Amino acid sequence: MAALPSDASERTYHRLQHTNEQALLLMDAPPDKSLGTPEFVVLSDKLLEKGIVAPEVVGKNLDQGFLLISDLGYKTAKAHLDVHPDDEIEVYEALTDLLLLTETITAPDLPVLDAKEAGDALAVTADFYLRDPTLTQPLADLMTEAYGLFCATDYTFALRDYHVENAIWRPDQAGLDRIGVLDFQDAVLAPKGYDLVSLLRDARRDLSDTLTVAMTARYVADHNLSAEFQPQFHCLALQRNLKILGIFARLALNPQKRRYLQFQSRVLRMVHEDTERLCWAPMTDVIRTHFPLDAHKK
């Protein structure tokens, strides 16, 4: 049994070999530290029903937080791109097409990332990145207003943390079977395009404007959306990456997770880029005042 690298959560994974030679993973998610294990089981079934490659749960002990799941492979999409950068367009086209399919999943009991929740979620940013709890409510109110203005759209299924480190790349397969989906237990109902933002405004990887524009155009064409989608994209990106600033700052309080600080400058840069492109004065004023590029907080 071999331990796999850990992520931002308290879950750990161990790869083991089953007696029938099928590779399996043991997920260890202590219920007192890691939520979402029961949701993982339900959502795995939802994904598999759509024909999406996701881990099949072959054994479970929810009381203790253990799942035995099928092993989708060894190499994430990010690991593949690190070695094969020329495959970037192929990988991102497949990932974009897959999220279009996941958006069609019906799961009405999921939490809803509505305007109020979008604002309230930034408490972590005020507390751990800005280190000023008095800004919690003003920041929440601003984001709630922004969501109301720019994200009044259909809500769809969103994996929530959809990016190249949470996807297994399987080049020996064809079509969407090339992608194995991981880390979906925190799925939500979110404004259309949330997973696209998660994929293209990635805290851990730089993407060219050319690639971002091309994948956004692919998404817009599939949904027959108008140019009005652009403000929604930038608003969703702002909410997500402002929250990530706070989450990574909180994680870095643990000496074993200080590596998350290396991503903060990229996230902050994207916050400023999306603020400029949203071009909404109240948001511009707050970002320039409290999130200056030349005074990056660690």
User: For residue 294, is pLDDT > 80?
Assistant: no
User: For residue 123, is pLDDT > 80?
Assistant: yes
Backbone phi, psi, residue 59, to 5° = -165, 150
Q: Mention every residue, 6+ apart, whose C-beta is less than 8 A from residue 121.
A: 113, 239, 243
CB atoms within 10 A of CB 67: 24
For residue 298, give Cα distances in angstroms to 7, 132, 291. 20, 14, 12
H or E segment to which residue 111 belongs: none
Better-predicted residue by pLDDT, 65 or 190: 190
Q: Mention every residue, 6+ apart, whose C-beta is less than 8 A from residue 49.
A: none
Closest by Cα among 177, 5, 38, 164 to 110: 38
In this prediction, residues 91-114 reach a mean pLDDT of 94
Distance CA 266, CA 57 (A): 36
pLDDT classification of 1: cutoffs 50, 70, 90: very low
User: For residue 117, is pLDDT > 80?
Assistant: yes
For residue 183, give Cα distances in angstroms to 6, 126, 165. 12, 26, 10
Distance CA 126, CA 110 (A): 26
Distance CA 95, CA 98 (A): 5
Token pair 């959809």 is found at 162
| Whole-number pLDDT of residue 6 | 53
Backbone phi, psi, residue 58, to 5° = -110, -5
In this prediction, residues 106-124 reach a mean pLDDT of 94
| Contact in structure between 176 and 94 (CB atoms under 8 Å) | yes
Q: At residue 225, what is the residue type?
A: L
Global pTM reads 0.90
pLDDT tens digits for range 263-273: 999 999 999 99
Q: Mention every residue, 6+ apart, whose C-beta is less than 8 A from residue 238.
A: 143, 146, 271, 274, 275, 278, 283
Q: At residue 41, what is the residue type?
A: V
Q: Mention every residue, 6+ apart, whose C-beta is less than 8 A from residue 288.
A: none
| Whole-number pLDDT of residue 2 | 47
Backbone phi, psi, residue 13, to 5° = -130, 145
Burial of 242 per CB tally in 10 Å (0-12, 13-18, 19+):
buried
| Vertex 238 angle, CA 235 and 243, to 5° | 135
